[in-house]
Amino acid sequence: MASLSAGHSEPESGTPAGSGSTAQGADGAVAVQQSVGSDPYFPANGDPRYRVHRYELTLDYRPGPNRLSGAARINAIAGRAPLSEFQLNLADFKIGRVRVDGRQTHYTHRGGRLRIRPAKPLRAGAAFTVEVHWSGNPKPVNSPWGGIGWEELGDGALVASQPVGAPSWYPCNDRPSDKASYQISITTPSAYAVVAGGRLLTRTTKASTTTWVYEQSAPTSSYLVGLSIGKYQTVLLGDPGLGGVPQHGHIPAHLLPEFSRDFARQPGMMHLFQQLFGPYPFDEYAVVVTEEELDVPVEAQGLSLFGANHVDGARGSERLVAHELAHQWFGNSVSIADWRHIWLNEGFAKYAEWLWSERSGGRSAQQLAAAAHRLLSSLPQDLLLADPGRKWMFDDRLYERGGLTVHALRCAMGDDAFFRMLRAWLGLHRGGAVTTSTFTSHAARFAPEPLDDLFDAWLYGTALPPLPVAPVARGAESA
């Protein structure tokens, strides 16, 4: 059984510093992509002295021996100071070659850090290219939640990297605010399908192998580059119609009957979330169900990964289907500047579960908020939502309190202002990275009354505030 105990997308039961860059969404909106210092939760991951514009990964994977060889071409831009050296994060692979701007360079590779010293310092603001060749047997990297990243399955592999598993399979500047475009080419035995987030450009078979090439043009955090290799049947979920979003499922053939029922309402979720949150931010959306069980489903950009245990033919995990889809807006398109702000991902994805329940004939958001409040009232009240600390960043309480915070905001603002605020938030920051203070300032501009007390209690206090209650309409008339 694959554990994937880290990288929680959903449990089962500060001020940025440094230079900034911009990212332009498909709708032309320009969002600030913040370059922050070292992540306080994971100071060994990422290098704030430069930012990556694009990764081009060429991979060859053999499932039997679990053998991966790769070449990365990384286009990057130096920050405000000259770079005499810099680092990428990469697990314990054999390094074949490292070049900067086509020239051999000195490097060291220890403790998951590939430290590179160019032949001559890179000037401030300069564009440069790094090439890295590596090979070995990929495996999860250690984390406080167990192994995360590349996971060898019984017959195939998958990648679920939240929060720091990306270096388990490719060299990267592993911090969530450093978002880049990706092209991934991966060659495997032809019996296997390869699914990655983004648009499939080509699939070419030669002899006994097939090469799959995917393009993800939208700015993507390193941990959100998802990948699955297995023997899958591909099905279309709903009819995208005119201007609709292509949605595909990739599942083992024997699970197709159960999958067809469990994911039947995902197109309805997509329609609702586009009404409430704004246009789907990527070209396509795919879901993969593995042959093995996973502790939790996990989102990637344009892709979500589920275990066989999440398919029962009775829609038993439908709230998780909604949760993972919602992450495409909250967390993937609009990302966090560092991991202190994880409630912005998980609180809104949790609340999207409640919105789907409310709009699809299930319990109302108010009823679900009351249940979450009862649960939290029986648990220790020592979690600071705006900065939970690394130990508690995937604690169940963060999800529940995050959802309650969003509900309290909706109750205080009213549906019209609340949903207008959300659509504006997601449009303005599409493709960028944000902080809690960015959000609270944004929400205040739409609120009829000051929100300071609400945010102080829910985000910056630990005691559980009273259950938020307000006459909330079941529909957002402006949606």
Q: Which two tokens stand for residue 447?
A: 């609120």
Q: Which two tokens stand for residue 51?
A: 């930012």
SS (H, E, C) 41-98: CCCCCCCCCEEEEEEEEEEEEECCCCEEEEEEEEEEEECCCCECCEEEECCCCEEEEE
- What type of residue is 295? D
Among 131, 151, 258, 324, the one annotated catalytic: 324
Separation between Cα atoms, residue 113 and residue 117, nearest integer Å: 13
Among 41, 170, 285, 399, the one annotated catalytic: 399
- Is there a contact between 108 and 177 (Cβ–Cβ < 8 Å)? no
Cα–Cα distance list, 159 to 59, 98, 170, 237, 378 (Å): 14, 24, 11, 23, 35
Of 130, 159, 165, 134, nearest to 54 by C-alpha is 130
346 in a known ligand binding site: yes
250 in a known ligand binding site: no
Residue 151 among the catalytic residues: no
- How many helices (H) and strands (E) would you count in the chain? 9, 24
327 in a known ligand binding site: yes
- What type of residue is 315? R
| Kind and range of the H or E run holding 337 | none
Q: Is the dihedral of CA 382, 387, 392, 395 positive or negative?
A: positive
Give me the residues paired with residue 78 across strands: 50
| Kind and range of the H or E run holding 37 | none
Separation between Cα atoms, residue 169 and residue 167, nearest integer Å: 5
Active site residues: 324, 399
The binding site for Zn(2+) consists of 323, 327, 346
